[in-house]
Structure 1
Amino acid sequence: MATRAANIADIDHALAVAAELSATFAEGAAARDGDRVLPHAQVRALKHSGLLTLSVPVAHGGLAAPASVLAEVFRLLAHGDPSLAQIPHSHYTFLEALRLQGTATQQAFFYEKVMQGALFANAQSERGPYPVDVDATTLVRDGEHYLLEGRKYYCTGALFADWVIVRASVPGRPGDTPTSSTPKALAFVPAGTAGLEVVDDWDGMGQRTTASGTVTLDGVRVPAERVVAFTPIFGAPSVYGARAQLLHAALDVGIATAALAEGVRQVGKARPHFEAGVDTAADDPTVVQLAGELTVTVRGAQALLAEAGRAVDAAATDLDSERAAAASVAVGVAKVAAARASLEASSALFELGGTRSASGAANLSRYWRDARTHTLHDATRWKLQHIGRYTLSGTKPPRHGQL
């Protein structure tokens, strides 16, 4: 990095910066989505803003911001542009993995990169034929280095990243077929490394500018000091997965709050229904009813997000299996509510705005497309299973990266 990221003085400053960026990101968001113009300038602004340093420990120059603060930052950014908000999600998640499993030397090295404005992005997801908990991508020891081989998909933000973080299986012997029990590690690979290719082939109907393309890894050499164990994170009580899911929920709540605000703007442009006998759409009792119902849904999701953030913070402060489970369940509840709110608000805005809101030029469908695309990331039906079992029998949810 040529210059260091801007300094974030405290939590209030962080939220103010996020709100300012949110407003900036909202400008042109519809056009970027419509034409799939990747937000290079906006990502540069994010890197420079200092927000990427929030979870860096105080000893290394950051604020060690709690999860609840990160969640509100994400909600604000998603309110402006959900695609842009999705890009740094893995950045914060991998910083948490580094905090939990990195050596002191690794932490010092990578925290300094982040303080200089570096963005981490993910290369985690794969396609069949294996179940989703199996990584066919392998990391095999080769002297002082590892060799990384494989292909990853949905690698959000990888085109913008300074470091691509690859999750891979570490087989006991070269040639072993990875299984769900094969240990996994994270390989920190700088952009431009030989054998690393990022392909801009993301064609999702929503979140069109996240650059969630394909990453191919062909004999990538990774120094041992840039490999961080991943599997041990889940060997003991942890809020690693809950933190990651909290930020996903925050993104959905941000879509919901933005869609509600857009719906209100559309009411101001709409004509009242003739049967209402009123002069403005805002006085139509059916519109009033819809706005009231929608406000309850969206504000409820916001409140549950805040509650889940507090639960994650409390568990992180005094961690044991009971608090970790309670935090995971709280996040699960927030995630379900956020998914419902984002889908409902992004659909109902058309009822609030009437026929003119369906104009292709306005591109208001992006709210629903973003919500529907992002809520597919992690099935809420499984959240409901874990919530129900916890409620009925006190069964703790499993430990993995989705909880």
Structure 2
Amino acid sequence: MTVQQHHPLSTGADYQQLAARFRPIFARIADGAVERERQRSLPYEPIKWLKEAGFGAVRVPVEYGGAGASLVQLVQLLIELAEADSSVPQAWRGHVAFVEDRLNAHATSNQEIWFQRFVAGELVGNAWTEIGAVKIGEVGTRVSRQGNQWVVNGHKYYSTGSLFADWIDVYAQRDDDGLDVIAAVSTHQTGVHQSDDWDGFGQRTTASGSTVFDNAVVSEENIIDFSTRFKYQTALYQLVLIAVLAGSGRAALRDFSHEVRQRTRIFSHGNAPRVSQDPQILQVIGKVSALVYAAEATALRAAAPAQRAYESHFEGNAQAEHEANVAAELESAQAQVVIAELVLRAANDLFNALGASATSETKQLDRHWRNARTAASHNPLIYKERIIGDWEVNGTEPPYIWQIGNGSTAA
């Protein structure tokens, strides 16, 4: 009997059929993107449309009611969604990771209850990072026993997407034994307090603000040993961000191409009676089209090792799984480095195709650069470049988990 007969896997769907389900929703999301950006209005309604359409279950195996999409296909969908509104797929990032963790956990324990929740449209946000006086390697959020129930107490920031979520994937420590855990906390209770206090200049509507847990109740079965977390999680988080970047590049190309087609004002020292016929302007657009094409192709290539890591987890071949996890981490890092450069260059150079009117706040064309710059600032590129170089020269494996916090005070 094959592994798939024991455990139905998500190895791929008909992409065009899958995308056709969501493209009308993506178009509706795109219609309101500029106004949401201008007003800094959170995309509650677009998130609701996606939940109702089953977007949160695209990775769930078909046998459990999902779409059975591969990770490459998920990244492709996220790129299309990011072209509509780059904040929305980033708001989905915590859900993507938690779904993947439950898919991997199904190899050793039944996860049908979670699959049912995903298929029903329940969304998972995340709350991992703490700011303030927390030292690197420490976590202040605690899970403790209180009477006959478990509760979570702590303060998180960068809780991306959690304002839209039914559950929050919370990184914490147990009080009783000090173990690092994931607590899957329901947001439908009084002990969870959320704020939209994210003030970045880009990705403004990702709902990446604060979450405070004040004796928030968590079921014992939803306290998960962090050591069991799926190994390619850092790579997957990065794949969502590079999809955001690639989609931002597509959106910038789309909007500037539209502006060039519509523009009637020309310069006396230009090359044609219409901007849309000026060969130098067309060269700018053509070059950027190639940059964006390369970014998207790289993103899709980078997702393949993560899919191999997922499938190999069920095959009983530890060496193959290890090699796939190494490749997932390295290729997502390589993609991050080059895609950030490609898309930031594209979003900047496109302004050469228009005049000063392109900087009008009404048009919000600058949002593409701001959003790309913000997404590219996650997980510093300089460290990823060093890690890649250390692998190429010394064969040093990349870290799968890393943390951020306060360092030691200089003497």
TM-score scaled by length of structure 2: 0.86
The one of 69, 78, 81 equivalent to 2:82 is: 78
Whether 1:223 aligns to 2:182 is: no
In the other structure, the counterpart of 1:36 is: 40
Whether 1:67 aligns to 2:71 is: yes
In the other structure, the counterpart of 2:346 is: 345
CA–CA distance in structure 2, aligned partners of residues 349 and 17 of structure 1: 31
Cα deviation for residue 172 of structure 1 reads 4.8
Aligned residues: 384
CA–CA distance in structure 2, aligned partners of residues 291 and 342 of structure 1: 13
Deviation string for 1:45-66 (max 9, x for gaps)? Answer: 0101111111123442223322
For structure 1, the residue ranges without an aligned partner over 5 or more in a row are 1-7, 174-181
1:332–1:198: structure 2 CA closer, same or farther, 3 Å change rule?
Answer: same
Cα deviation for residue 315 of structure 1 reads 3.4
Q: Considering only aligned residues, what root-mean-square deviation do their CA atoms show, in Å? A: 2.4
221-230 or 267-276, larger mean C-alpha shift: 267-276
Cα deviation for residue 131 of structure 1 reads 4.4
Deviation string for 1:71-114 (max 9, x for gaps)? Answer: 00110100000111211111010112223347977722221111
State the SS of the aligned residue for 1:205: coil
Deviation string for 1:138-164 (max 9, x for gaps)? Answer: 112446532211001121221211112
96-105 or 33-42, larger mean C-alpha shift: 96-105
1:300–1:52: structure 2 CA closer, same or farther, 3 Å change rule?
Answer: same
User: How do 1:301-320 residues align onto structure 2 when only pairs under 5 Å count?
Assistant: 301-318=295-312, 319-320=320-321
CA–CA distance in structure 1, aligned partners of residues 267 and 138 of structure 2: 55
Cα deviation for residue 215 of structure 1 reads 0.5
- 1:259–1:342 Cα contact (<8 Å) kept: no
CA–CA distance in structure 2, aligned partners of residues 204 and 106 of structure 1: 40
374-383 or 94-103, larger mean C-alpha shift: 94-103
State the SS of the aligned residue for 2:67: coil
1:107–1:316: structure 2 CA closer, same or farther, 3 Å change rule?
Answer: closer
In the other structure, the counterpart of 1:26 is: 30
CA–CA distance in structure 2, aligned partners of residues 209 and 334 of structure 1: 25
Deviation string for 1:237-281 (max 9, x for gaps)? Answer: x32222221121111110011111212122223444332332222
1:367–1:123: structure 2 CA closer, same or farther, 3 Å change rule?
Answer: same
- 1:78–1:254 Cα contact (<8 Å) kept: yes
1:23–1:334: structure 2 CA closer, same or farther, 3 Å change rule?
Answer: same
State the SS of the aligned residue for 1:275: coil
State the SS of the aligned residue for 1:225: helix
CA–CA distance in structure 1, aligned partners of residues 42 and 286 of structure 2: 36
CA–CA distance in structure 2, aligned partners of residues 59 and 134 of structure 1: 40
- 1:244–1:401 Cα contact (<8 Å) kept: no
1:135–1:102: structure 2 CA closer, same or farther, 3 Å change rule?
Answer: farther
User: How do 1:232-311 residues align onto structure 2 when only pairs under 5 Å count?
Assistant: 232-233=228-229, 238-270=231-263, 271-311=265-305
User: How do 1:80-99 residues align onto structure 2 when only pairs under 5 Å count?
Assistant: 80-99=84-103
Residue identity matched to 2:119: M
The one of 86, 111, 118 equivalent to 2:115 is: 111
CA–CA distance in structure 2, aligned partners of residues 374 and 256 of structure 1: 12
For structure 2, the residue ranges without an aligned partner over 5 or more in a row are 1-11, 313-319, 404-411
In the other structure, the counterpart of 1:387 is: 388
CA–CA distance in structure 1, aligned partners of residues 364 and 120 of structure 2: 36
CA–CA distance in structure 1, aligned partners of residues 255 and 191 of structure 2: 44
State the SS of the aligned residue for 2:369: helix
Residue identity matched to 1:224: E
253-262 or 123-132, larger mean C-alpha shift: 123-132
State the SS of the aligned residue for 2:269: helix
Deviation string for 1:190-213 (max 9, x for gaps)? Answer: 122231111222222222222222
User: How do 1:135-284 residues align onto structure 2 when only pairs under 5 Å count?
Assistant: 135-142=139-146, 144-173=148-177, 183-233=179-229, 238-270=231-263, 271-284=265-278
User: How do 1:319-358 residues align onto structure 2 when only pairs under 5 Å count?
Assistant: 319-358=320-359
Whether 1:363 aligns to 2:367 is: no
Cα deviation for residue 132 of structure 1 reads 5.3
The one of 110, 114, 126 equivalent to 2:130 is: 126
